[in-house]
Each structure stands twice: as structure tokens, then as C-alpha cells.
A and B are shown apart, each in its own frame.
Chain A
Amino acid sequence: MAEIKVDCTGETCPIPLVETRKALRKAKEGDVVEVIGTHPASKKEIPMAVKSLGLELIDLQEEGGVWKIRIRK
């Protein structure tokens, strides 16, 4: 089980969503994709995409305007 990290710090719409999707497409089943970023709307929208894709949201944390989302494929 690999862990794939995606850094979208400083990026805005739609990049965090698109980069998350690109990483999830490349990941194998069971892999964990960890996305970090600062774009406020993406913190809400990446979990929406995870739900639409039928995947598992493991964790969502935010500290000082930087959020971290972990997804299992």
C-alpha cells in the first residue's frame, strides 16, 4: 500500500480538485492519497468529490489555514 502526497499549497480553483483526481486515478486500490492545500473551498469540495467517486475519506485536518485531507482508494 503506497502513500501518495499531493501538495496544492497556494493553488486555487480548480487545481486542488484536479490534482486530487489525477493522483487518485494513478493510485492503486488500497493506496492512500494525502492532499495538502490552502484554497478554502477545496477543503469542502474535495470531500464532495471523494463521496461522488465512492471512495473513503480517512481524515481531514486544518491548522493555520492549511488543510490536510487523506483519502483511501
Chain B
Amino acid sequence: MAGKTTIIVHSGEMDKVYSALIVANGALAMGMEASLFFTFWGLQRLKKGALEKGPLSKMNMLGLGKWMVKRRMKKAGAASLERLLQDFHELGGKILACDMTMQIMGIKKEDLRDDLISDYCAVGTYIDEAKESTITLFI
């Protein structure tokens, strides 16, 4: 099956990064191509050791809400963000990092999970990916 999914991961909150990775893995599993374009708060999650560090987007309550949700997710058998990111990479998904965010926020390549990132790029690359995508989302 042809088709492609391109998602802008703008948010760094745990639940939103989950949404992006679940949709992206689903697309790959159904035989589509998939690209994730990490920018702003989303790109923070690609720093080494930062993937699971985002708060909840609602009811975080200084981390108490997040702790409760994580506990319930573990009980439900939900995968970790790390596993979803590794699966995405293994299934051939493309991870793109926004270079303007890196400039603004003073993030260097060596701060990021360089082994997983296919390209450091800007809006032109997103448009190039999205124009041939049947699904594109901003999360």
C-alpha cells in the first residue's frame, strides 16, 4: 500500500509525544511511510535522556498526575516511549530535527540522539514530505 504520514511534533508533553509515536507506528504497521518532524518543545524530547521527561499536558500536578498515569499505563501493558521510538526507527520511520529550534534553544547535534535522526532540516523539508502525504498532523 502506498501513502505516507507526516507529523509535526511541536509538543513535548508526555501524552502528546505518545499520540505522535502511536499514530506514526500505526502508519508504518499498516504499510505506509512515516516521518516525524521534531520542533520546539517536541525537539527537547530528542535530547539524550529526555524522551520520558515531559510532563502531562493536563493534570500534571507537579508530577503527581504523571506518576499516576504512568502507573496505570504500566498496568494496562502500554509500551514505553523509548520502545515506541525504537520500533519506529526499526520499521523504517524517518526522524527529522528542526535546525532553527536548535539555533534558538542552543541545542547541539551532540546533545541529541543523533543515531536516530535522519536529517537536520527546515520547513522546506517538511513541505517536501507533507505534500506527498495523505495524512499530516500537528501535535
Q: Is the CB of B76 within 8 A of A14?
A: no
Selecting from B22-30, B39-47, B117-125, B127-135, the interface stretch reads B22-30
Assess whether B87 is interfacial by the CB under 8 Å rule: yes
Interface hits, A1-45 → B, CB 8 Å: 10-15, 17-18, 20-22, 25
| B22 contact from A10, A11, A14, A54, Cβ within 8 A | A14
Q: Is the CB of A25 within 8 A of B30?
A: no
Q: Is the CB of A52 within 8 A of B77?
A: no
A11–B25 Cα gap in the complex (Å)? 15
Q: Is the CB of B26 within 8 A of A14?
A: yes
Q: Is the CB of A15 within 8 A of B31?
A: no
> Within the complex, what minimum Cβ distance (angstroms) separates B1 from chain A?
4
> Within the complex, what minimum Cβ distance (angstroms) separates A47 from chain B?
11
Q: Which residues of A contact B30 (CB under 8 A)?
A: 17, 21, 48-49, 52-53
Q: Is the CB of B77 within 8 A of A11?
A: yes
Chain A residues with a Cβ closer than 8 Å to the other chain, count: 17
Given A13-B22, A52-B1, A54-B1, A21:B77 Cβ within 8 A:
no
- For A14, A15, A21, the residue with the greatest tally of chain B CB atoms inside 10 Å of its CB is A14
Interface hits, B37-85 → A, CB 8 Å: 76-79, 84
Q: Is the CB of B76 within 8 A of A49?
A: no
| B29 contact from A10, A11, A12, A21, Cβ within 8 A | A21
A13–B90 Cα gap in the complex (Å)? 18
Q: Which residues of B contact A25 (CB under 8 A)?
A: 91
Q: Is the CB of B26 within 8 A of A12?
A: no
> Within the complex, what minimum Cβ distance (angstroms) separates B16 from chain A?
16
Q: Which residue of B lies closest to A15 (CB)?
A: B79
Given A14-B26, A17-B26, A53:B87 Cβ within 8 A:
no
Binding site for A on B (CB under 8 A): 1, 22, 25-26, 28-32, 76-79, 84, 87, 90-91
Give the 4 A-B CB pairs with smallest separation, nearest first: A21-B29, A17-B29, A52-B1, A53-B31
